[in-house]
Structure 1
Amino acid sequence: MTKMPTTKAELNRFFEMINQRVPKRVSQFIRWLRKPSSFAARLAVAALLILGGIFSFLPVLGFWMLPLGLLLIAQDIPFLQKPLVRVLSWMEKKWVQTRLKWQSR
């Protein structure tokens, strides 16, 4: 019987995926933001990322900002964690399927 990962573990896994794909300084900043003492900064950065993600049609801003902002906010708002993990897991699954489909052509 396989044990299902907890919602917190899944959130941490998504953060680690992000940390592996961004420059070292950005990764360090995200790690600092996740500390409990960085609550106010985390909330401000998350709000800006969500706003930037909503306006992703503008140059420089992108859709990538929305999930990161939601991840940061979900760290402090427990009722958002489960639906966010569900959506991000679904997006990850669809992305893998799409990549495999493109590679098989």
Structure 2
Amino acid sequence: MSRVKFWGRTVRLPRNRPLRVAMGFAFVAMGLVGFLPVVGFWMIPVGLAILSVDSPLARRFRRRAEVWVLRRYNRWKRRNVGSV
């Protein structure tokens, strides 16, 4: 069973590679029409996380984005610790 670890949470994915790739592209495509109800822009990072299991390009992009977000969060957290 394939797994994706995304911000400390582990999600199991199907073993079938074509199904994983189709799911990843479907999430990204539905995320691009995120202004519609139910689907949203949150689906783009989820789709990239699913694609990162099989695609080195998506894996690199996901890792860079995760590092960027965590650095910004830690910087914000350090600034706001003294203000409480």
Same fold at TM > 0.5 = yes
**Would you tell me which structure has more helix in proportion to its own residues?**
1
Partner of 1:81: 59
Superposed CA RMSD in Å reads: 2.7
Aligned equivalents of 1:86 and 1:73: distance in 2? 15
Identical pairs, percent:
27
The structure richer in strand per residue is 2
Paired position in structure 2 for 1:13: 5
SS, match of residue 49 in structure 1 = helix
- 1:32 and 1:85 map into 2 onto residues whose CA distance is 18
Residue 34 of structure 2 is aligned to residue 53 of structure 1: no
What's the offset of the Cα at 1:53? 1.1
Please, what TM-score do these two structures have when normalized by structure 2?
0.68
Question: For structure 1, which runs of at least 5 residues remain unmatched after alignment?
Answer: 1-10, 20-29
Q: TM (normalized to structure 1)?
A: 0.57
One-letter amino acid of the structure 2 residue matched with residue 44 of structure 1: A
